[in-house]
Structure 1
Amino acid sequence: MAALAPAHAQETNGTPAAQDNGEIVVTARFRTESLTDVPIAITALKGDTLAAQNLNTLQDIAQTVPTLDFRAGSSNKDRSTFIRGIGTITTSPGVEPSVATVIDGVVLARPGQSTLDLLDIERVEILRGPQGTLFGKNASAGVINIVSKEPARQLGFNAQLGIYEGGEYRVRLGASGPIGDDWGFAVTGLLGGFKGNVRNVTTGDWVNGYDRQGGRAKLVYRPADNLKFTLAGDYVFTYENVPTGVFVSTSRVAYPSGTVTPNADLAAILAASGIVPGANNTRVAPSFDADVRDKNYGGSFTAEIGIGDHTLTSITAYRGWKNRQHQDWDSVGPLTAATARGEDIGKVDSDQFSQELRLTSPKGKLIDYVVGLYYFHTVARERYQRGVTRLVAGTPVFDLGVANYRTDLDNYSVFGEANINFTPRFRAILGGRLIHDDLAYEHARVATTATGVAGIRPSYSSSGDTNRTDFSLRAGLQYDLSDRLNLYATYSRGYKGPAYNVFFNMQAFDVNPLAPETSNSFEAGLKGSSGNGAVTYSLAAYLTKFQGFQANFQDTYLGTLVTRLINAGDVSSRGVEGDITLRPVQNLRLSGAFAYNDAHIDQFLCPASAGGACANVDGQPLPFAPKWKFHVDGSYRVPVTDTLGIDLQSDFSWKDDTQYSITQTPDTVQPAYGIWNASIGLVSDAGKGWEIRALIKNIANQHYSPAIGYGAVAGVSRFVPRDNSRYVGINANLNF
């Protein structure tokens, strides 16, 4: 294990993530470097190849990357990503994610912002382990670094069309090229939709679908070789009608006793609607279709100025996020004495501003470095309304709760990371970030109930603020055994700042701030390739221990499920990762990647407000942390003419049993499953090139769920993925 923790360069469909003279290149350390030179565990994926395989979001990508996982939800507000089994599950605006998402150098404030469409990107880099030294404080588990495309050197146009079984389509049009000698531009527009693969038997509509429109534009000005100015902007609007009540079971199974508690009322309601709960149920019966509207947008100005042989980079950015939700709280239609009927209306308005200034030295001297200053400000305003109707002595009684709350965060930091080159082959790595956070919140709830009813607590208001100064750290050694073989070992300290559990049903014991989440991580890595690139490989081992882990804890209030954010205690993640890519003959490429990850709870701290009603979960797995996961793929180009070929591609992903709840309930476990996909494409290299590709997803028709949880009122429900069942489609890509 003395030589493990790779820069893992995953490729898809025979095309590397990014290339420069045959080398895969990344910008994981704010400079363009060969992936084999970077002492960080990285997965790099090419944007065009992801689009060709209908992988357009982080949820899609998570299936193909063994160390990445994704939690589905009823809207972007409820979704999040995990790296090596570590992530943040919460809807509170007073907490940041453990996995940071960065778009062209701009960190996104909320987990929900990171689930946007991957529109017109050059590549996605997934950096594993604490990355707070260079990428900011909310990167205690890792970073997803999204890099958009630069303007092309020659004027060109691109048209992509995808049509898929089940009423799904995707149209993308783009143009890119120079404007005179000093200017360049790139602009892309997107239109897509999916009618859904779940049936609402009450309304008769297909749901679990989406409509999406958006665009991205970039303008680059290069008045001199050492000057570059970039103005970039993007906007994506998404409408979704994802249901929350796709029931797996009307009973619940307790942990650790295994006691089964049935709900006869829910069972009767579903039976009357003709719904049979089960692991592949795709029918729901809410009173109305869910309606979620999401706007994700922003702009940035980047200046890169050469000062001698150094580069000064300034990134000034603003991002906005607006989320509107209208959902059926109880997930069923009828009002009965045992089951109340509820309606939720939510609104999120989030704005952020950031300014980064950094200085990058040239490579090749005794010390090369990146140093910088960073400022980040975000304001999140939310309004959540819940109306609940109950039958009391046969008479309907209506109660309403409305909460308005907001959080304000200011983050200041100074950072740097350096290589100390003892020899051309042997170097030390040393970096750190000094961080100061100011966090404040306000909360006010008005309710018509004085004692509380199912799903609504009484009127309540509070406010508070906290601040913290802390640090991230990275240190290590790196040795190049040869030009094509790299060995390194590192230690990192991760940090995620204090938090508040601010949400609709906030209570008096939520006013105390959560302590920061910190981690200590040890990695060692080996990666290399043959001289002609016929074989590339990497192997990794890591051990990360987290203190003050910020996690959601499930509780009940008047028979209703309530979740709240707590410092859950100590957890750890340890494992081995590896990958290999083979090109044994011309036009044939085979690759595979695997991850063994033991992410579990070391010591769970039961919150005092639970009254000691916590089961002992020490030693149990963390949510969304399968122990084993692997992905294999292969492609072969059959030449037809000098410029025309037939491209054959297939891939298979396998995922171990996965627990989706920190409370370890047996009925929230997704059994192991595998997904097999394939495609065949006709590819032309003549002119600027074109491609027509037919694909088939989930060939074996393997049903699964990316998230299983308890319903708000009763039962166990699941979210249904796009590829829950086999489907086919065609992608066309034309460059001219």
Structure 2
Amino acid sequence: MKSNNKILGALTIGALLVASAYAGAEEADPAPIVKADDNGAVPSVTVSATRRNASLQSVPVAVSVLDGDALVNANRTSIDSIVQEVPSVTFRQAGGNKDSTIFVRGIGTISTSPGVEPTVSTVVDGVVYARPGQATLDLLDIEHIEILRGPQGTLFGKNASSGVLNVIGRKSSQETAGFVDAGWYEGNEKRLRVGVSGAIQPGVVSASIVGLYGDYDGNVTNVHAGGGKVNGYDRKGVRARVDITPNKDLDIALIADYLNSTSSPTTTAYKSTSAAFNAGIAPVVAGTENRQVNADIPSDIEDKNKGLSAQVDYRFNGYTLTSITAVRDWDNTQYTSSSAIANSAEASRITAAYPATRDIGTLEFSQASQELRLASPKDQFAEYVVGAFYLHGKDRETYQRIVNNGTAINSGKANYGVKSDSYSLFGESTLNFAQDWRAIAGARWTRDNLSYDHVRTSTQTVAFTGVQPGVQNAGSTSENGYSGRVGLQYDITRDVNTYATFSRGYKGPAYNVFFNMLNRDTLALKPETSDSFELGLKATAFNRKLTANVAVFDTKYKNYQANFYDTVAGAVVTRLINAGDVSTRGVELDLNARPTRELTLSQSLAYTDATIDKFNCPAAAAASCNLNGNPLPFSPKWKSFTRANYALSLANGQVVDFGAEYSWQAKTQYDLFQSADAIQGAYGIVNGSVALSSPVGGWRIALVGKNLTNKSYATNLVASTGYVTRAVPRDDQRYFGITARKEF
């Protein structure tokens, strides 16, 4: 621990000294993200993290900003693929979207239960997505993404105890314009986006529409007869937006989106110590780089995600009143397997120890939300944003498991659902005591009402592998929660500002509602709370040739809601519990430099020490609970991202861009119970690109290379009795692609 403290101290002091020593240029006025800067400086970035448009360098919040066009050019088109660029964020890849999870600073909630809210909230165009699975699909038409780190609640509609992904889509333009961009990558991955935007009534009404098509065969081979490739996807979507400005004081934005996605997420045998298991997967051989399965019925998951929203901004006497009204629907159908002897009807491969299973699940989720905010005039002693928020969610699911143990076929089926209502009042104020220092104070009250019902039937009255006997339960709970933020911000110079904040995070009550729910799961989990201290510094130097942002944080969580893996009737089951006390502390550094007009450099680094402080072992738990002092899963201690780009202007006005990036992370434990077989060793991924573009002609063509050193790795490892499986990422092998874009 002492050595870690020394590292943290050295990094922090070093960054402070560098930023202070080289500060000397005035902060540019806030402006949208731009692709280049005529004076050869690091572009100014405007964020809405404080619910007011402000320069990234001025807001007292740790924020990472990702440009939408750059993500598309790098073939990062979904939430799971952007985490390489943000060292403080990790992603748990699982069997489907409903099982996947985002982690910020080592904290996230792993659960398929519809009765638990996400630790990291996702907000798209001001609309909160209530379920994590809604947000893990394709990004349709993104201007940029802001990732706010640490507890958020005094400014955003839905509370978030660890962070917020704030996704900002593109507005329509008054000028008629359009684009076509396409990409083809090895492995037969294809992507096509087409968009058009323009005025319907000049100066008053404009509209845009963007369509998406993408498909990918997959990078795992199914050796079963006629199996082909799996672990791929097929996506089709559309996003339409209408912007209405009846007068200079009123803006109305109407947005509709629809996305249909089918996928075949597949885990492969990573390690085996069982002869019976090896015989069951033959001719596939378990291995750290295995990309084969033997399945007669591969996984198949379909998602339909759609929504409507209306945002109204009305300005009067310097105030801005904002209303965001939205409805969303998410349907998910999955045909998967809970065993590695996947779905086999071949009796010779099946044993009692390794039966074949088939899981069939359907999910129908709908939500309606309303947010109201009032922002006070700027340049006053007291500036504030206050608001009210309401979210109603309704979930209905069915889940069936069919188990073939070689001698008999048994099954169980569960019907269950959750209803939730969340009400809140929130606000944050900045008190400008002087030109160079100010105080921050915010508070939030939340009321959560949560209810569930659950009925399971079974062909057996006793438990068998993967299925519990029939049961019927229902329950409801309500809680009031309070959270907030206080802090001070001081400008050392016009180009260097510092802040210190204390935040109280809150995450509402939960129910562990899932297929194998038992009577012991009927009690509501207590709300999760967090206390977070953060120190930050943001600096600009050398006439904006360099920006440096540093954040140091220390956060402690009480009643942490986590998945506990237990063994019941010979099968591993998950139990969502109040796991006890955990903490996360560390330092984050973001550097952006433009030493010459042609060369742009960026570096992000995070040290995160996410630890189990006091684990509460559930009563009658079969598994060991001696976890105190161990790391939280999916939380590498070190993670970094480096990018370099050199733009060479040609005599004919065209530009050649050479790009390279390197992402690296330390070894990562994927298992809460610290299995030695669930550790991904340290690894680095090298990507590169060469692009030729014509700013005047509005076209760009690029050659992209991913994982140039051909490094195989896992985004998840799951240890079971006698074997280990791994989630295979898209860039598990080196591959190349070509992209082209034409604007008109």
Q: Could you say which TM-score interval applies, normalised by the shorter chain?
A: over 0.9
> Aligned letter for 1:718?
R
Aligned partner of 1:256 in structure 2 is: none
* 1:608-658 superposed Cα distances (whole Å, 9 cap, x missing partner): 1315x4241111110110000011110111111262111000000101000
The answer on 1:620 being equivalent to 2:630 is: yes
Is residue 2:743 matched to residue 1:732? no
Match of 1:258 in 2: none
Taking the aligned partners of 1:13 and 1:722, their CA distance within structure 2 comes to: 29
2:251 aligned with 1:228, yes or no?
A: yes
> Does 1:671 pair with 2:694?
no
Find the counterpart in structure 2 of residue 699 from structure 1: 708
1:363 CA drift (Å):
1.3
Residue aligned with 2:154, SS: helix
Q: Secondary structure at the match of 1:609?
A: coil
- The question of whether the paired residues in 2 share the 8 Å contact of 1:675 and 1:699 is answered with yes
Give the percent of matched residue pairs that are identical in Structure 1 and Structure 2.
Answer: 45
Aligned twin of 1:651 = 661
> What amino acid is the match of 2:117?
E
Q: Give the root-mean-square deviation of aligned CA atoms.
A: 2.0
Any conservation in 1 of the 2:33–2:43 contact (CA below 8 Å)? no
Secondary structure at the aligned position of 1:133 is classed as: coil
Whole-Å separation in 1 of the counterparts to 2:111 and 2:75: 28
Contact 1:97–1:138 at 8 Å: present in 2 too?
A: no
Q: CA deviation at 1:715?
A: 1.6
1:561-580: per-residue Cα shift (whole Å, max 9, x none)?
Answer: 11111111100000011121
Paired with 2:195 and 2:173, the residues of 1 have a C-alpha distance of 11
| Structure-to-structure mapping, 1:250-649, within 5 angstroms | 250-251=272-273, 263-270=274-281, 273-332=282-341, 333=344, 334-391=349-406, 396-530=407-541, 532-610=543-621, 613-641=623-651, 643-649=653-659
Deviation at 1:265, TM superposition (A): 1.1
8 Å Cα contact 1:13/1:633 also seen in 2: no
Q: Which residue of 2 aligns with 1:208?
A: 231
The normalised TM-score by structure 2 is 0.93
State how far apart, in whole Å, the 2-side matches of 1:485 and 1:184 are. Answer: 40
Cα distance in 2 for residues equivalent to 1:493 and 1:136? 16
Native 8 Å contact 1:120 1:149 kept in 2: yes
- C-alpha deviations, 1:128-162, integer Å up to 9, x for none? 00012122454100000000000123110110000
Q: Distance in 2 between matches of 1:577 and 1:630?
A: 10
Q: CA deviation at 1:22?
A: 4.5
Q: Report the Cα distance in structure 1 between the residues aligned to 2:579 and 2:295, rounded to whole angstroms.
A: 34
Structure 1: how far apart are the matches of 2:138 and 2:485?
A: 32
Structure 2 Cα separation of the partners of residues 377 and 14 of structure 1: 39
Query: Which deviations, in whole Å up to 9, do the C-alpha atoms of 1:384-405 show, x marking residues without a partner?
Result: 00111224xxxx3221211000
SS in 1 for 2:405: strand
Q: Which residue of 1 aligns with 2:137?
A: 116
Whether the 8 Å CA contact 1:287–1:328 is kept in 2: the answer is: no
Q: How many aligned residue pairs are there?
A: 711
Please list every run of 5 or more consecutive structure 1 residues that lacks an aligned counterpart in the other structure: 252-262
* Structure 1 partner of 2:5: none
- Check whether the contact 2:33–2:46 (CA below 8 A) recurs between aligned residues: no
| SS of structure 2 residue aligned to 1:169 | strand
CA contact (8 A) 2:318 2:378 kept: no
Alignment map for 1:4-15 (pairs within 5 Å) = none
Q: Secondary structure at the match of 2:69?
A: helix
One-letter amino acid of the structure 1 residue matched with residue 645 of structure 2? S
The residue that corresponds to 1:719 in the other structure is: 727
Q: Equivalent residue for 2:23?
A: none
Distance 1:102 1:137 in 2: 9
Q: How much has 1:13 moved relative to structure 2?
A: 12
Q: CA deviation at 1:21?
A: 11
CA distance change for structure 1 residues 87 and 485 in 2, over 3 Å: closer, same or farther? same
CA shift for structure 1 position 471: 1.1
- What secondary structure, in the 3-state scheme, does the structure 1 residue paired with 2:510 have? coil
TM-aligned CA distance change 1:21 to 1:344, over 3 Å: closer
Q: Quote the offset at 1:482 in angstroms.
A: 2.1
Aligned-partner SS, 1:452? coil
**Which ranges of structure 2 fall in alignment gaps of 5 or more residues?**
1-8, 20-26
- Letter paired with 1:648: F
CA distance in 1, matches of 2:648, 2:630: 49
User: Offset of 1:336 from its aligned partner?
Assistant: 2.4
User: Which residue does the alignment assign to 2:189?
Assistant: 168
Tell me how far apart the structure 2 counterparts of residues 233 and 12 of structure 1 sit (CA, whole Å): 24
Which amino acid letter does the alignment assign opposite residue 706 of structure 2? K
The CA deviation at 1:214 is: 0.3
Following TM superposition, by how much is the alpha carbon of 1:247 offset from its aligned partner in structure 2, in angstroms?
A: 0.8
**Matching residue's letter, 2:320:** T
SS in 1 for 2:430: strand
Distance in 2 (CA, whole Å) between partners of 1:456 and 1:507 is 11
Separation in structure 2 between the aligned mates of residue 702 and residue 178 of structure 1, nearest angstrom: 48
Per-residue CA shift, 1:365-385, capped at 9, x if unaligned? 010110011111001111000
Whole-Å separation in 1 of the counterparts to 2:714 and 2:610: 20
Query: What do residues 448-471 of structure 1 show as CA deviations (whole Å, max 9, x unaligned)?
Result: 100111111111000000000011
Q: Kindly state the Cα deviation for residue 56 of structure 1 after the two structures are TM-superposed.
A: 0.5
Contact 2:41/2:594 (CA < 8 Å) preserved in 1?
no
Structure 2 equivalent of residue 44 of structure 1 = 65
Q: Aligned pair in 2 of structure 1 residues 633, 14: CA closer, same or farther (>3 Å)?
A: farther
- Map of 1:120-199 to 2, 5 A cutoff? 120-181=141-202, 182-199=204-221
AA in 1 matched with 2:210: T
What secondary structure, in the 3-state scheme, does the structure 1 residue paired with 2:331 have? Answer: strand
**Given that residues 137 and 472 in structure 1 are in contact (C-alpha distance below 8 angstroms), is that contact kept between their aligned partners in structure 2?**
no
Match of residue 259 from structure 1: none
Give distance in 2, aligned partners of 1:682 and 1:22: 21
Q: Which amino acid aligns with 2:300?
A: D
Which letter maps to 2:414? A
